[in-house]
Chains A and B, each alone.
Chain A
Amino acid sequence: MNFVDLLMLGFSEALTPTNLGFCLLGALLGTLIGVLPGIGPTATIAVLLPITFYLPPLAGLIMLSGIYYGAQYGGSTTAILVNLPGEASSVVTAVDGYKMAQQGRAGSALAVAALGSFFAGTVATFGIAIAGPTLSSFALSFGPAEYVSLMLFGLLAATILARGPVLKAIGMILLGLLLGMVGIDASSGEERLTFTAVELFDGIDFVVIAIGLFGFSEIIENLENVEARGVLVSKLSRLWPTREDFRRAWPAVLRGTGVGTLLGVLPGGGATLASFCAYSVEKKVSKRPHEFGEGAVEGVAGPEAANNAGAQSSFIPLLTLGIPSNNMMAMMLSAFIIHGITPGPTVLATQPEIFWGLVASMWIGNLMLVVINLPLIGVWVKLLTVPYRLMYPAILLFCCVGVYSINNRIFDVALAAGFGLLGYAFRKAKCEPGPLLLGFVLGPLLETNIRRALTISHGNPAVFVERPISLVLLIATAGVLLLMILPSFRKTREEAFQEEEA
């Protein structure tokens, strides 16, 4: 089958009424949680993960990915109108977007954001469609040694690009790896680290950890921070950008799309990183840098295009190599595994309808989002006035039913509550729980491949440097480590993240 045939196959899958319905549901939910601060896409997907078990595989995946990119659209709406970024990835949008709204150019900013996001989403979706088959045929030549090096590179690079201290992130990854080892050892059949609890022989379920760390502890933390929410909604003006805005926005959209697509592919990349980089790129190339922060349309167009492109292209490593690059993708990986599908090069060959259906649905979803967002902006903004006390009981119920339904046992719910407590402790210790999830998901894969590689080589570790692809990846890993030690790089990194937190 050639490219066009495969794309047609994808569209025929994505356009069935069921899949279309779940695509719309995902996009709506994504917009909703994007608008609401305090509920992020990671927590939402963790909560909905067990429910997708009851759906057909493709429908579940379509819905979950819709939530991820939908949140990018929703987050920008509130960032522009009320200076309240719903998601971390739209924090920079608020800087210039809100200024534009104060100057009575809210409609223009919203339209630029939505159209820029749509353009970026389209390009990045094509990126997946083109990169997918190429990369995965390349990945078919990977042996265990290459996979080990790739995973080491991915895990280490993810810690650098993620926010927070690198050492803490590495520690969290190690803890994730350790948690992933709980249960019966696949090659010897011996149970390990289970504290002789029969319930743990099958290992800890991903959903238990995800809901504990992201669902429960997020609720607890939100309840702890009593926020004063003074919502001041700017007046909406005309919804179409002026010719001047349009002329200034489109090069920024192009640049943002490029930056976002590239950064999304990197381990640890994704929407948030992409939007921050795009903003600094725009500021650097602009002839009028003094206008940034005062309502420059480029400052909205660039980051908005970038965060959406990054959200899409972060699917590339997952779908082609089977390696998730950030915690969102770790969630998606486990959504595949719930249905007994292991994403990676073989899926493209054996179940092309999954890959192409998902790609096609992303484009359809982006189109839906433009339609949902522009005319319905007023409705979404009204939702901001819903207080948290009415929202969290519903989230709590979803979490509990979700965890209980995995195996119908009390143990899982209690364990998830334990992880909620642990997640709370980590928040107090200022550790990001994301890398733990990444380590947990990759742990078993990493261990199997290390053991396999060393068994084949009779215990000779040279196997990792003798194979060229593996060597290149290891050199890249060493380079990343070196960068981390260099003081000048550390300083820039710290500054970059400080800007983010401000």
Chain B
Amino acid sequence: MAAPRKAGGTGDRPDLFTAALFIGFGALGLWAGRDLTMGTASAMGPGYLPRIVCWLLIIIGVAIGGSGAVRARVDIAKPRLWPLVIILAAVVGFAFIAEYFGFVAAAVWLLLVGSIADRDSRFREVILLTAGLTAFGALVFIVGLGVQMPIWPF
């Protein structure tokens, strides 16, 4: 992991990143809403307030970026891609499997794949946990609460 503060350099990286996100979303909003009618203050069109909000967002982004650029250098905590990618893949996979193969298959996928996100996971524990939680989930959510999802793939 990089040292959080390095002497000499400037630029608060988390602030610059924030600025990029805010300006990016502001610009995206302006672009997505480019065809919306403005209207007048007394009869506002659907585009009136979104445009104001987007511009404010961009202004705030510029302000944060400007002050962050001159401040002493601070680095962003180094991301670890493994848990991020695994968890997101497990979640999206869950949705697709649930749609076509039912709850049990989806839950097993989610729990097995999700478990490898943590390097401490132990094989036997994961199997037991998956079996237990899948049974619990099927009983509580689908039988008990009536969530609309088939339990089995057939």
Within 8 A of B (CB), among A387-419: 387-390, 392-394, 396-397, 399-401, 404-405, 408-410, 412-414, 416-417
- A317 within 8 Å of B (CB atoms): no
Contact between chains at B92 and A454 (CB < 8 Å): no
Nearest opposing residue in chain A for B97, CB measure: A410
Chain B residues, CB < 8 A from A493: none
Pick the contact of A188 from B45, B54, B111 — CB < 8 Å?
A: B45
Nearest opposing residue in chain B for A394, CB measure: B133
A 220-238 binary contact with B (CB < 8 Å = 1; else 0): 1001100000000000000
Within 8 A of A (CB), among B41-91: 41-47, 49-50, 53-54, 56-57, 60-61, 63-64, 76-77, 79-80, 83-84, 87-88, 90-91
Which 8 residue pairs across A and B have the least CB separation, nearest first? A459-B42, A413-B95, A459-B41, A185-B46, A223-B83, A410-B95, A430-B14, A429-B17
Contact between chains at A430 and B18 (CB < 8 Å): yes
Sample of 19 further A-B pairs with CB below 8 A, known A413-B92, A428-B76, A428-B79: A54-B145, A165-B64, A168-B18, A192-B33, A192-B47, A220-B87, A224-B79, A388-B118, A389-B115, A389-B121, A389-B122, A390-B125, A393-B114, A401-B147, A405-B141, A426-B18, A429-B14, A458-B42, A459-B42
Contact between chains at B95 and A393 (CB < 8 Å): no
Contact between chains at A421 and B84 (CB < 8 Å): yes
Within 8 A of B (CB), among A371-394: 387-390, 392-394
Chain B residues, CB < 8 A from A420: 87-88, 91
A165–B60 Cα gap in the complex (Å)?
A: 12
Main secondary structure of the interface of A (DSSP, over half): helix
- A216 within 8 Å of B (CB atoms): yes
Nearest opposing residue in chain B for A458, CB measure: B42
Chain A residues, CB < 8 A from B151: none
CB distance from A29 to the nearest CB of B (A): 14
Pick the contact of A51 from B43, B92, B145 — CB < 8 Å?
A: B145
On chain B, the number of residues with a Cβ less than 8 Å from chain A's Cβ atoms is 68
Contact between chains at B110 and A397 (CB < 8 Å): yes
Given A188-B46, A192-B36, A401-B137, A178 contacting B91 (CB threshold 8 A): no
CB distance from B68 to the nearest CB of A (A): 10
Chain A residues, CB < 8 A from B42: 454-455, 457-460
Residues of A within 8 A of B (CB): 51, 54, 165, 167-168, 170-171, 174-175, 177-178, 181, 185, 187-188, 190, 192-195, 216, 219-220, 223-224, 387-390, 392-394, 396-397, 399-401, 404-405, 408-410, 412-414, 416-417, 420-421, 424-426, 428-431, 447, 450-451, 454-455, 457-461
Chain B residues, CB < 8 A from A390: 125, 129
Chain B residues, CB < 8 A from A388: 118
CB distance from A12 to the nearest CB of B (A): 27
Given A190-B36, A195-B32, A216 contacting B141 (CB threshold 8 A): no
A195–B31 Cα gap in the complex (Å)?
A: 10
Given A178-B50, A413-B95, A404 contacting B149 (CB threshold 8 A): yes
CB distance from A227 to the nearest CB of B (A): 11
Pick the contact of A174 from B60, B79, B146 — CB < 8 Å?
A: B60
Contact between chains at A389 and B118 (CB < 8 Å): yes
Interface centre among B53, B115, B130, by most chain A C-beta atoms within 10 angstroms, is B53
How many residue pairs link A and B with beta carbons under 8 A? The number is 189
- B21 within 8 Å of A (CB atoms): yes
CB distance from B153 to the nearest CB of A (A): 16
CB distance from B36 to the nearest CB of A (A): 5
Contact between chains at B120 and A389 (CB < 8 Å): yes
Given A174-B53, A175-B22, A413-B92, A224 contacting B80 (CB threshold 8 A): yes
Contact between chains at A216 and B60 (CB < 8 Å): no
Given A170-B60, A219-B87, A223-B117, A414 contacting B14 (CB threshold 8 A): no
Contact between chains at B46 and A396 (CB < 8 Å): no
B 113-143 binary contact with A (CB < 8 Å = 1; else 0): 0110110111001000110010001000100
Nearest opposing residue in chain A for B29, CB measure: A178
